[in-house]
Structure 1
Amino acid sequence: MMWLLLQINTQLADSTATVAAATTAPAQISLWSLLDKGGFIMYPLYLLLVGAIFVFFERLIAIRKASKIEDNFMSMIRDNIMTGNLSAARTLAKNTNNPVARIIDKGIQRIGKPIDAIEKSMENVGKLEMYKMERNLSILSLIAGIAPMFGFLGTIVGMIQLFYGIASTGNFTLNDIAGGIYVKMITSGTGLIIGLLAYIGHNVLTAQIDKTANKMEVASSDFIDVLQEPTR
């Protein structure tokens, strides 16, 4: 009899543990299913994410292309100018497709005029080249600002819908409220992540532009120094 009672108790304990394990096991959900619960506000956030990725890589490729210049470019320009071969110097500058070469080309065109006029012309070209490199960077800055706002707007709309449903149906169990809140917070989290990525991308591109601008300034300074040296 005692053996039978012990066996029954063991079976009950095993079944209770199984039920408890099944009850406490967290439900698995995929990332896409989770994002899909964010509602219609997720679609503008997706567009912002695609826009940020496109602008970042498009500008990154353009800026890296603009920053590439041969190490001996300025040496060749200097040698041609010092020997009086201005046509060869200008041909080299025109055939080199980068901001530094275009600035030097403008300086070569102004040779014979006062140094101040040459520097002013080169500075104007430098400003135009900087504008070209900074083009569309404002889009990343805009996305970094409005993406979190879109996410917060989605959360507010979702909370309004949640509490309206509670008021209409009278169902206000803890599970209903907690489940509704975590779903509505998805848009806020997504918006913050997109805004952070856009902000980081904007700063990375700005750093690349600063490096290229430094190369332009160094080349301009070297060119002016060449003009002030006596010719051979």
Structure 2
Amino acid sequence: MVKLFLDGGVFMWPILGVFIVGLVIVFERLYALITISTNTKAFTKTIKSTLEEDGVGAALAACEKSTSPIAVMYTEALRHVDKGLERVEKTLDTIGSLEMTFLEKNQIWLSTVIVIAPMLGFTGTVSGMVTAFQDIASANDMSPAIVAVGISQALLTTLFGLVVAMVIQVFQNFFLFQIDNLVIDMERSSLDLLDILETKQIKK
């Protein structure tokens, strides 16, 4: 693998750099989204129970201890309970939109890596082909061996660029799947909160 990388020429280094940037973002998003997903259901159940049994004050105090998207939504919503359900609903919608932005953080950079890596690979291939034909012209020899070596080296950058793009694409698709599920959980949790506030006698 190292030999193939070195044989690919100078364009292999920017492809490697782009891959490293992509992996850093992948690990950051992986940790953040999995942590949020793991705590969401248990947190929502706890807050609903606290809200019904101990009232708004206790539920608000519990929400303020967490930084998950649903906790942030609940915190802001419960702070506006005394202003009516309509205000609570608007608050949930507004904070929910802001939290979605956090969930989608750095997705644009993953998309950039997915696009840039193969483009760098293609550029490296074109550059390598030009060099290969120059070598052929200099040697004044069109033997298959010379042509094959030059072309194989030129195509390595395309190969590595495509591999980088595919790896990052798989992770991005996983992240988008996780984000979709979290958004559904946030919407469901918002409806649950509104339902409790509307139908139960909440202790102030």
TM-score (normalised: structure 1): 0.81
* Mapping 1:196-215, distance limit 5 Å: 196-215=166-185
Q: Give 4+ residue runs of structure 1 displaced > 3 Å after superposition.
A: 70-84
Query: Could you tell me how far 1:55 is from its partner in structure 2?
Result: 0.8
Q: 1:82 to 1:32 in 2, by over 3 A?
A: closer
Structure 1 unaligned spans of 5+: 1-30
**Larger % of helix: which?**
2
* Mapping 1:109-188, distance limit 5 Å: 109-188=79-158
Query: Could you tell me how far 1:68 is from its partner in structure 2?
Result: 3.0
CA contact (8 A) 2:50 2:59 kept: yes
CA contact (8 A) 1:140 1:198 kept: yes
* Structure 1 residue aligned with 2:10: 40
Seq. identity, %? 29
Q: 1:116 to 1:98 in 2, by over 3 A?
A: same
Do residues 69 (structure 1) and 16 (structure 2) align? no
Structure 2 unaligned spans of 5+: none
Name the aligned partner's letter for residue 106 of structure 1. E
TM-score (normalised: structure 2): 0.91
CA contact (8 A) 1:67 1:98 kept: no
Do residues 223 (structure 1) and 203 (structure 2) align? no
32, 46, 60: which is aligned to 2:30? 60
Number of aligned residues: 202
Mean CA deviation greater in 155-164 or 124-133: 124-133
Q: Distance in 2 between matches of 1:148 and 1:74?
A: 43
Q: 1:75 to 1:44 in 2, by over 3 A?
A: closer
Q: 1:79 to 1:172 in 2, by over 3 A?
A: closer
Larger radius of gyration: 1
